Amino acid sequence: MNKAVALILAGTAMATASPALAQTVQNDSPFTGARVQAVTGYDNIKAGSSVDDDGNPNNDQSAEGVIYGAAVGYDVDLGPVVIGPEAEFAWSTADTDFDNGDFEGFGFGNVSADRDLYLGARVGAKIGDQALAYVKGGYTNAKLNIRSNDGTTKFDTDYDLDGYRVGGGLEYAINRNMFVNAEYRYSNYSRAEVDFDGTLPDSDRFDVDLDRHQVSVGLGVRF
């Protein structure tokens, strides 16, 4: 009788401990919980495949610069995969320019990049205990400031662009609370409107074709 009671008590203890043990394992994962990170990298904005605004094939029709900003997210480690939503707010130094007297534009006139917003999710697969390979996708919204012909004056008028973003990357956990990552992102903007300075109503939305390529690195902490 005493042995039976002891076995029952032992089995109950093991059953009670199993969920707690699983929770402990998940909590120890470097790929679960809230995260925040600083982001920087290379930014290239160019005319899409349906646009050809210059007969010169050597004209790259692009604006290049540096992105810098911050990203937040929340990941759930499900064992073989890691999933979670994420958002990013960034700025860019990219702008159109004159190269040897040839205006490097892409159908929007003389502009400079402004803020770049992204809201989406990512799905990843763990590589060992400290690395995560992932893909991502979601909605993106960006603005281009309209500038004067000499490029020195910025008006209170912007192009407001809507589109989608996809990409992929690799994250490495330095420890449970700190990580670094690197990724490539492609964005395509297909709809736009002109936001005026408040004295005029915004324009109707119209179709555009604008590609954006970014290569970024990040340093973050996880809570």
Find out whether 43 and 64 touch, Cβ atoms under 8 Å: yes
**pLDDT (tens digit, 9 = 90+) per residue, 42-84?**
999 988 876 655 555 556 678 899 999 999 999 999 998 999 9
Find out whether 134 and 171 touch, Cβ atoms under 8 Å: yes
pLDDT greater than 60 at residue 2: no
How many angstroms separate the CA atoms of 28 and 37, rounded? 20
- pLDDT band at residue 203 under the 50/70/90 scheme: confident
Q: Phi and psi at residue 6, in whole multiples of 5°?
A: -65, -40
Q: How far is CA 68 from CA 58, 178, 201, 213, 215, in A?
A: 29, 19, 31, 14, 11
Burial class (CB in 10 A: 0-12, 13-18, 19+), 30: buried
In this predicted structure, what is the pLDDT of residue 196?
Answer: 81
Q: What residues are paired with 118 via a beta bridge? A: 88, 140
Who has greater pLDDT, 221 or 108?
221
In the numeric block, which tokens belong to residue 115?
Answer: 């803020």
In the numeric block, which tokens belong to residue 154?
Answer: 């910025």
Find out whether 157 and 195 touch, Cβ atoms under 8 Å: yes
Label residue 211 left, alpha or beta by phi (over 0 means left) and psi (-120 to 50 means alpha): beta
Who has greater pLDDT, 195 or 61?
195
The mean pLDDT value of the chain amounts to 83
- pLDDT band at residue 19 under the 50/70/90 scheme: very low
How many angstroms separate the CA atoms of 215 and 218, rounded? 10
Most confident of 92-101, 187-196, 211-220: 211-220
Residue with tokens 């707690």: 20
Instruction: Using DSSP, state whether 19 is helix, strand or coil.
Output: helix
In the numeric block, which tokens belong to residue 160?
Answer: 């407001």
Q: What whole-number percentage of the chain has pLDDT above 90?
A: 57
Q: Does domain 31-222 have CATH number 3.40.50.460?
A: no
**pLDDT (tens digit, 9 = 90+) per residue, 95-149?**
987 666 667 777 788 889 999 999 999 999 999 999 999 999 999 999 999 887 6
Who has greater pLDDT, 107 or 222?
222
Q: Domain spans of the chain? A: 1-30, 31-222
